[in-house]
Structure 1
Amino acid sequence: MYKGPIFLEPVFKERIWGGTKLQAEYGYNISNELTGECWGISGHQHGPSRIRNGELEGWPLDRAWNEHRQLFGNLEGSEYPLLVKILDAQTDLSVQVHPNDEYALEKENYSFGKTECWYVISCEEGAQLVYGHHAESESEFAAMVEQGEWKKLLRQVSIQPGDFFYVPSGTIHAIGAGTMILETQQSSDITYRVYDYDRRDADGQLRDLHINQSIAVATYPHRDPVIEQTEAKVQDLTIKQLVEDTYFTVYLWKLNGTAELVQEFSFLQVSVIEGRGTLYADGKEYPFVKGDHYILPATMDEYRLEGDAEMVVSHVTI
């Protein structure tokens, strides 16, 4: 079973801040002009990807996880652990924060909190995002929120394509308008909104805020996490490690030619963000193009990549 890649059909999510770039840039068949999220690799109950090749074609990823755990190195856990998205932010996302595992389990009865990371695929000139805050304590943070001192509280960071941000649980953050990012995260959909610009939904209602939860889970004071990035070369493939964290390790792969590799992980998640190529495994050819998402299962062995492509690749950290 599966000596080659497992290709996945993405799930799309309407968002108040979304747009149409997922169709324009990746050719995805979206049905809504406010499509904000492509869940490219997902076993989450709110939107599992479906397998589109091989013996399990048509299966949702969470079912494959539960019934064919050998594909994932027989890892333990009742939930597929990671979620990979592409986000199209036509306008600003709400300022938000996510809980850690302990808080999520205690308050939300869910196994995972939400630590995530972002690779900036593209952005408009002058684009910014919120990454952290300027309060030194919980009480100062709460006072500034109550008084609506958002410009003083929120830390704005200018961005450009190729930037990378590691966003541990507890980090106040918001992706800014005109930005497309690839997000790798724990498989969790728990979000606490701190501020939403007094924006109204399609029914004219202000969206819910979660001030008490946000104050409870935010980190004080904010400090940028220190991450070590390394780079290696395997023939014509450059592998840049973007982050190695408790939950996931994420890489940027740049392929310009041919590379022979061995699948040594419980599974590898691959999202093609530019270009095209072919994966050769077990005597078969598997073409891939920009916008494809696939998993290299534990049941694979040696494989070869050929082409000109950029991919964001990840696996669980053990």
Structure 2
Amino acid sequence: MSETNFDKLASQPILLQANRVWRTYSGGKLIDQWQGNDHPEDSSFPEEWVASVVKATNVGREHIQDEGLSTIKLTDGTEVTLQEVTDSNPEAFLGKTHVEKHGSHTAVLVKLLDSSERLTIQVHPDREFAQTMFNSQFGKTEAWYVIGGRQIDGEEPYVLFGFKPGMTAEKWKELFEQQDIPGMIDALHRIPVREGEVYLVEGGVPHAIGIGCFLIEIQEPTDYTLRTEKVTPRGNIVPDQACHQGLGFENMLNCFHYDAYSLEQIKDKWFIAPTQLQETAGGSLRALIKETDTDRFTMNRLTVVSEYAYENDGTFAIAIVVQGKGKLLWGSEEISIKQGNTFFLPASLSSVKWISTDESPLEVILCYPPKP
């Protein structure tokens, strides 16, 4: 594919191919339903990675070279990775100021996640730890926007989040070495989750997404996950390498921040209240994650009842059509859109118009990289 044809993509919304990724836990039925797939079911592919230029780190699946990378189907039917496209002209696709800061890297990763079992208790590195131990400019601070959920075996959706008061590094190490999983679970706050809630999960904070959660996750662009459980809730063995990512268990335990908080303190520190940005007769725009919440990414929710004009600010966006159907217009061109579609909106695309053609509003999540 010539660079000229890639350049043409820089002036239009780019429809992304479905991109399911293998994980150590099960789920994905709600993603299947959301995408309109036949025979929705839970499996070992519980995540959809959106606009990803990050390869998944899955022990035992290293032979799958491009697992995790998002692809685009060209008009001639061939597929190329999003990374190939953005590499062809980084400023056109990512924006000049973004490239000055991050080069040809998008500096962000977005996922949809549906859990039919609790994930293992884990931690992600902050930037300092990632730089020292992984030689990476990015850690893995992330945020969750809950878009749904389900009751499974009588349990409502929940997350485990943050150490309770009284936890110390010594106590946590003892729980880990004994593989006292009930003790580790009890050391974290169990928090019911509801649709529309937003949680910021900074690097170093212990957590585990519980059963029945359906959410959008925006994060720094790495797959660094350190796990303290050697057996998953459904009984699968987690290899040591998958626990410590090659760092060894001592370094893994050093990744945790051992600050302990009450539930009220956690809510004050890491629960984010959406704020209204703009409202018109045709729709509204709300900030889910703002620059004042974190410097790693931002996220907005667009609700369209008739039509809404979106103006670009010189950087790219990642768009997820959460519900509804309609049209996406740019210049003299348009494309039909529906729930489950995901798009990369290049920096060179100056403006688009979202139009709802359904009785129910068109809901779109817009995800952005860190501000330069």
CA offsets 1:85-133 (integer angstroms, 9 cap, x no match): 1111011111100002222232123332101111111122522111111
CA distance in 2, matches of 1:42, 1:173: 23
Q: Which residue of 2 aligns with 1:132?
A: 162
Give yes or no for contact 1:82–1:185 (8 Å, CA) kept in 2.
yes
1:79–1:301 Cα change, 3 Å = closer
Q: Which residue of 1 aligns with 2:87?
A: 66
Q: Which residue of 2 aligns with 1:21?
A: 30
User: Aligned to 1:59, what secondary structure does the other structure show?
Assistant: strand
Give yes or no for contact 1:234–1:260 (8 Å, CA) kept in 2.
no
User: Aligned to 2:305, what secondary structure does the other structure show?
Assistant: strand
Structure 2's unaligned 5+ residue stretches are: 1-7, 57-67
CA distance in 1, matches of 2:303, 2:186: 39
CA distance in 1, matches of 2:363, 2:319: 10
Q: Which residue of 2 aligns with 1:37?
A: 47
CA offsets 1:126-174 (integer angstroms, 9 cap, x no match): 2211111114543343344445222431111011111111111111111
Q: Which residue of 1 aligns with 2:213?
A: 179
More off after superposition, 12-21 vs 91-100: 12-21
1:232–1:58 Cα change, 3 Å = same
| Alpha-carbon offset, residue 67 of structure 1 | 1.8
CA offsets 1:48-106 (integer angstroms, 9 cap, x no match): 11123569972201112222202110323353311111111011111100002222232
User: Aligned to 1:15, what secondary structure does the other structure show?
Assistant: coil
CA distance in 2, matches of 1:151, 1:310: 35
More off after superposition, 252-261 vs 56-65: 56-65
Query: Aligned pair 1:122/2:168, yes or no?
Result: no
Letter in 1 for 2:54: H
Give yes or no for contact 1:265–1:315 (8 Å, CA) kept in 2.
no
Q: Which residue of 1 aligns with 2:276?
A: 231
CA distance in 2, matches of 1:50, 1:198: 30
More off after superposition, 43-52 vs 82-91: 43-52
CA distance in 2, matches of 1:83, 1:261: 22
Q: Which residue of 1 aligns with 2:251?
A: 213
More off after superposition, 22-31 vs 180-189: 22-31
Higher helix residue share: 2
Give yes or no for contact 2:322–2:363 (8 Å, CA) kept in 1.
yes
Which structure 2 residues correspond to residues 135-174 of structure 1 after superposition, within 5 A?
Answer: 135-146=166-177, 148=180, 149-174=183-208
| Alpha-carbon offset, residue 222 of structure 1 | 4.0
Q: Which residue of 2 aligns with 1:260?
A: 309
Give yes or no for contact 1:40–1:49 (8 Å, CA) kept in 2.
yes
1:11–1:139 Cα change, 3 Å = same
More off after superposition, 138-147 vs 119-128: 138-147
CA distance in 1, matches of 2:334, 2:260: 48
CA distance in 2, matches of 1:288, 1:97: 36
CA RMSD of aligned residues (A): 2.6
Give yes or no for contact 1:6–1:54 (8 Å, CA) kept in 2.
no
1:222–1:251 Cα change, 3 Å = farther
1:27–1:107 Cα change, 3 Å = same
Higher strand residue share: 1
CA distance in 1, matches of 2:296, 2:13: 22
Number of residues of Structure 1 aligned to a counterpart in Structure 2: 316
Which structure 2 residues correspond to residues 78-97 of structure 1 after superposition, within 5 A?
Answer: 78-97=104-123
More off after superposition, 209-218 vs 107-116: 209-218
Q: Which residue of 1 aligns with 2:288?
A: 242
1:179–1:198 Cα change, 3 Å = closer
Give yes or no for contact 1:99–1:190 (8 Å, CA) kept in 2.
yes
| Alpha-carbon offset, residue 43 of structure 1 | 0.9
1:283–1:56 Cα change, 3 Å = farther
The share of aligned pairs that are identical, in percent, is 24
Structure 1's unaligned 5+ residue stretches are: none
Tell me which of 293, 299, 303 is aligned to 2:348: 299
